[in-house]
């Protein structure tokens, strides 16, 4: 058990180091100055209050997306549909934000709840199909992503109304914006969403480890048949897991709609938040603290990467680094194999010495 915990921490850290090493190799191979690149990356994250604010701003949706993926993972399900759930959540949050006139105490929670419900509804489709028809959730979630992409654009165009590719700005009473946070960070777009996100991580922990529901969800994740035998409804838990995961994903959309942008634009392609969420959950080992830390890391990379442009390095380098981090974490078995080989050799050497006496 101790060894498991050791690997649980070692593999993500090794993967980050290896991923950044690949980034360095790519920079050198592309004829760029890697040292300068990494300095710009560092400066782009920690250099100024503004960049710190932007990093934290980008962290909020990533925490939610990471929690969404991790929650489903805990029940043995792969929610690759976060991307679509983010879009519907974003849309509903903005729609509520612009169409009602209510006091903040009602309007903001209402917009957040709406976003969560929209995400839940979108996630319920693959959940129900998995539970009732045994359809693999990965494929249905991917299909739901594209349906969300085209449908939200259509609804924005035809019903919500757009000018210059974007909707109206949400009312102040539904906005997550914070003048205090913004001024504190040299007028970055940092908003109150980061607090909501950290709170959500605590809720994630509470549901999974402190409630009967969470116990059942995890039991289904560990061993479906055993859970069924113990009298738990696997079907119900699959649907619930997807729905709760969808709430987190929908709220990630609300972070963008009520916080970062205060509106919604027509999307030619996906936001990338959902796919980054998979990376976040994986690196964070589906653990709430891990997810928050991984979200901070990836947000930092994404924001800091923008500064690399100043020395001519394409910011796409960050995508390459993140992709390799995922590949290395997923290949944890190989990392274990290498470590085990070294350690067992040592043990063998010890025993053979002992035998010699």
* Nearest distance, CB of residue 100 and another protein, angstroms: 26
129 binds another protein (CB under 8 A): yes
197 binds another protein (CB under 8 A): no
Instruction: Count interface residues toward another protein (CB under 8 A).
Output: 46
**Contacts of residue 323, Cβ cutoff 8 Å, sequence gap at least 6:** none
Among 310, 316, 340, 345, binds another protein (CB under 8 A): 316
Among 52, 60, 80, 91, binds another protein (CB under 8 A): 80
Among 21, 106, 330, 348, binds another protein (CB under 8 A): 330
143 binds another protein (CB under 8 A): yes
CA distances from 276 to 252, 268, 303, 318, 351 (A): 12, 18, 13, 11, 46
Among 1, 5, 31, 159, binds another protein (CB under 8 A): 31
Q: Report the candidate in 175, 155, 351 with the shortest Cα–Cα distance to residue 255.
A: 175
Taking the C-alpha atoms of residue 305 and residue 39, their distance in angstroms, rounded to an integer, is 11
* Nearest distance, CB of residue 342 and another protein, angstroms: 17
142 binds another protein (CB under 8 A): yes
> Are residues 62 and 280 in contact, defined by beta-carbon separation less than 8 angstroms?
yes
28 binds another protein (CB under 8 A): no
Among 8, 30, 109, 161, binds another protein (CB under 8 A): 30
115 binds another protein (CB under 8 A): no
Instruction: Give me the helix-helix angle, 288-307 and 49-74, nearest 10°.
Output: 140
Among 136, 236, 345, 350, binds another protein (CB under 8 A): 136
In terms of CB distance, is 170 or 243 closer to another protein? 243
249 binds another protein (CB under 8 A): no
In terms of CB distance, is 179 or 269 closer to another protein? 269
* Nearest distance, CB of residue 192 and another protein, angstroms: 30
317 binds another protein (CB under 8 A): yes
Binding to another protein (CB under 8 A): which residues in 250-269?
268-269
146 binds another protein (CB under 8 A): yes
140 binds another protein (CB under 8 A): yes
208 binds another protein (CB under 8 A): no
In terms of CB distance, is 160 or 177 closer to another protein? 160
271 binds another protein (CB under 8 A): no
In terms of CB distance, is 106 or 135 closer to another protein? 135
3-state SS string for the chain: CHHHHHHHHHHHHHHHHHHHHHHHHHHHHCCCCHHHHHHHHHHHHHCCHHHHHHHHHHHHHHHHHHHHHHHHHHCCCCCCCHHHHHHHHHHHHHHHHHHCCCCHHHHHHHHHHHHHHHHHHHHHHHHHHHHHHCCCHHHHHHHHHHHHHHHHHHHHHHHHCCECCECCCCCHHHCCECHHHHHHCCCCCCECHHHHHHHHHHHHHHHHHHCHHHHHHHHHHHCHHHHHHCCCCHHHHHHHHHHHHHHHHHHHHHHHHHHHCCCCECCCCCCCHHHHHHHHHHHCCCCHHHHHHHHHHHHHHHHHHHHHHHHCCCCCHHHHHHHHHHHHHHCHHHHHHHHHHHHHHHHHHHHHHHHHC
In terms of CB distance, is 79 or 262 closer to another protein? 79
Taking the C-alpha atoms of residue 176 and residue 257, their distance in angstroms, rounded to an integer, is 9
* Nearest distance, CB of residue 253 and another protein, angstroms: 19
147 binds another protein (CB under 8 A): yes
* Nearest distance, CB of residue 314 and another protein, angstroms: 4
Enumerate binding residues for another protein (CB under 8 A): 26, 30-31, 78, 80, 125, 129, 133, 135-136, 138-140, 142-144, 146-147, 150-151, 153-154, 158, 268-269, 275, 278-279, 282, 314, 316-320, 322-324, 326-327, 330-334, 337
């Amino acid at each position: 058990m101790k060894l498991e915990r050791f690997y649980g921490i070692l593999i993500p850290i090794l993967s980050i180091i290896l991923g950044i090493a690949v980034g360095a190799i790519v920079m050198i191979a592309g004829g760029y100055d890697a040292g300068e690149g990494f300095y710009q990356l560092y400066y782009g994250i920690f250099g100024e209050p503004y960049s710190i604010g932007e990093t934290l701003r980008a962290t909020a949706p990533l925490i939610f997306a990471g929690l969404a993926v991790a929650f489903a993972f805990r029940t043995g399900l792969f929610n690759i549909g976060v991307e679509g759930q983010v879009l519907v959540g974003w849309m509903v949050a903005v729609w509520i934000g612009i169409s009602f006139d209510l006091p903040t105490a009602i309007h903001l929670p209402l917009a957040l709840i709406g976003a969560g419900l929209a995400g839940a509804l979108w996630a319920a489709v693959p959940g129900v199909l998995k539970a009732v028809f045994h359809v693999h959730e990965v494929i249905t979630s991917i299909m739901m992503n594209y349906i969300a992409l085209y449908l939200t654009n259509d609804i924005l165009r035809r019903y919500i109304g757009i000018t210059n590719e974007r909707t109206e700005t949400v009312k102040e009473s539904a906005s997550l914006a914070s003048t205090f946070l913004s001024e504190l960070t040299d007028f970055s777009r940092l908003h109150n969403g980061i607090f909501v996100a950290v709170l959500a991580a605590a809720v994630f922990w509470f549901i999974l480890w402190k409630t009967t529901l969470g116990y059942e969800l995890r039991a289904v994740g560990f061993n479906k048949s055993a859970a069924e035998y113990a009298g738990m409804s696997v079907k119900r838990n699959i649907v619930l897991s997807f729905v709760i995961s969808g709430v987190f994903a929908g709220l990630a959309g609300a972070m963008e709609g009520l916080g970062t942008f205060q509106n919604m634009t027509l999307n030619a392609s996906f936001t990338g938040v959902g796919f980054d969420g998979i990376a976040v959950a994986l690196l964070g080992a589906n653990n709430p603290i891990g997810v928050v830390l991984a979200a901070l890391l990836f947000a930092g990379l994404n924001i800091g990467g923008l500064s690399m442009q100043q020395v001519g390095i394409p910011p796409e380098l960050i995508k390459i680094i993140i992709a390799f981090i995922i590949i290395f974490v997923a290949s944890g078995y190989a990392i274990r194999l290498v470590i085990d080989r070294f350690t067992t050799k040592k043990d063998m050497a010890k025993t053979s010495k002992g035998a010699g006496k």
